[in-house]
Amino acid sequence: FNNIKIKNFVLSLTDLNNFHLKKSKFQVKYYYVFHSIISTHRAYYKDSFDNYDVIFCVGKHHINEIRSRESKYNLKQKKLIKHGYGKLDFLIEQQNSKEILTNRNKQTNLLIAPTWGENSLNEKEIILIINEILKSKLNIKITIRPHTMTVWNKPNFINNIKNNFKNNINIIIENDLNLTNSILTSDLMISDWSGAAIEFAFLKKKPVIFIETIQKTRNFEWDLLELPTIEKELRKKIGFVLKK
């Protein structure tokens, strides 16, 4: 990274120059593309976006948050591009370009997609949720889609769920997060604070059940900007919030 000699460098990685990945000693322009719709000022570290030259913003919330931080902390203004969200565009395109298989057996597809981190839904809680659903005797197929960071850092997460439901063909764990079929074919999602919940709601126009865990926070000065976070603002508009 220190010695890269190119004109433009596009990343979807936060915290450039803050940790092990440093900016080049040459004149390189750094662009950031969001990999989530959520707000910039709470779930990320406070300076996660400070070292980019150009940021492709998903919506007005990103522009307001970044400009507010620049103003409050006297930072150099970045170029902010009204870009939208390529991942959602891609999913919509996929949904429109191929006919999604209909549920001929009238089975409901439920997707459980938690975020990652210490306050996210853990495997014990997910097992409890699934057991409650199984008690209902409803015809439901359940897919668990763990976050990439959970797959990397907590191998027992997947193993514990697999061991509990190894004889149930209606419970699947999606390990390959490049696959999109579970999102495209699901009727309902259960989540916590995952950005995937917003993607699902906007793509499918179907509800999300949010389990009320502690909101993901890495910037403990987030409230100094006096701005709401979109992930909290949208919850009751795109689904239902249930106490843990």
Residue 15: the pLDDT is 97
Please list, in sequence order, all residues whose beta carbon lies within 8 angstroms of the beta carbon of residue 34, skipping any fewer than 6 positions away.
Answer: 12, 55, 56, 57, 58, 62, 85
Residue 187: the pLDDT is 93
- DSSP result, 171-232: EEE---TT--HHHHH-SEEEESS-THHHHHHHHH---EEEEE-PPP-S-TTGGGG----HHH
- 150 falls in which pLDDT band (50, 70, 90)? low
Residue 179: the pLDDT is 66
Residue 107: the pLDDT is 84
| Residue among 189, 208, 213 at smallest CA distance from 125 | 213
Residue 226: the pLDDT is 96
Residue 193: the pLDDT is 92
pLDDT tens across 19-76, in order? 999 999 999 999 999 999 999 999 999 999 999 999 999 999 999 999 999 999 999 9
* Helix 86-97 vs helix 196-204: crossing angle, to nearest 10: 40
- 188 falls in which pLDDT band (50, 70, 90)? very high
Residue 151: the pLDDT is 67
Residue 104: the pLDDT is 52
Residue 176: the pLDDT is 67
Residue type, 42: R
Q: Which has more confidence, 154 or 72?
A: 72
The pLDDT mean for the chain works out to 90
CA angle 12, 60, 201 (to 5 degrees): 75
Per the structure block, which two tokens stand in for 218? 């890495």
Residue 99: the pLDDT is 61
Q: Are 83 and 57 in contact (CB under 8 A)?
A: yes
Q: How many helices (H) and strands (E) does the chain have?
A: 9, 10
Residue type, 81: I
Residue percentage of the chain with pLDDT more than 70: 93
Q: In the predicted model, is pLDDT for residue 177 greater than 70?
A: no
Q: In the predicted model, is pLDDT for residue 101 greater than 60?
A: no
